[in-house]
Amino acid sequence: MGAPPERPLAWPATVGVTRAYKLDADHCVRTVLNLMRKRYGIRMPHDITREMWDAWGRDTDLMRTLTDKISKYAAGANFHTPAYVERLSKADKDRIAHLLLPPLPHHFRERSVPMAEHRAAQRRRRKAKTDVLSE
Yes or no: say if 70 and 104 are a contact pair by the CB < 8 Å rule.
Answer: yes
**pLDDT higher than 90, residue 54:** yes
Yes or no: say if 25 and 75 are a contact pair by the CB < 8 Å rule.
Answer: yes
Res. 91 pLDDT band, cuts 50 70 90? very high
Q: What's residue 78's pLDDT?
A: 92
Length of the chain measured in residues:
135
Q: What is the mean pLDDT of the chain?
A: 83
* Distance of alpha carbon 3 from alpha carbon 39, whole angstroms: 16
What percent of the chain lies above the pLDDT cut of 90? Answer: 46
Q: What's residue 18's pLDDT?
A: 86
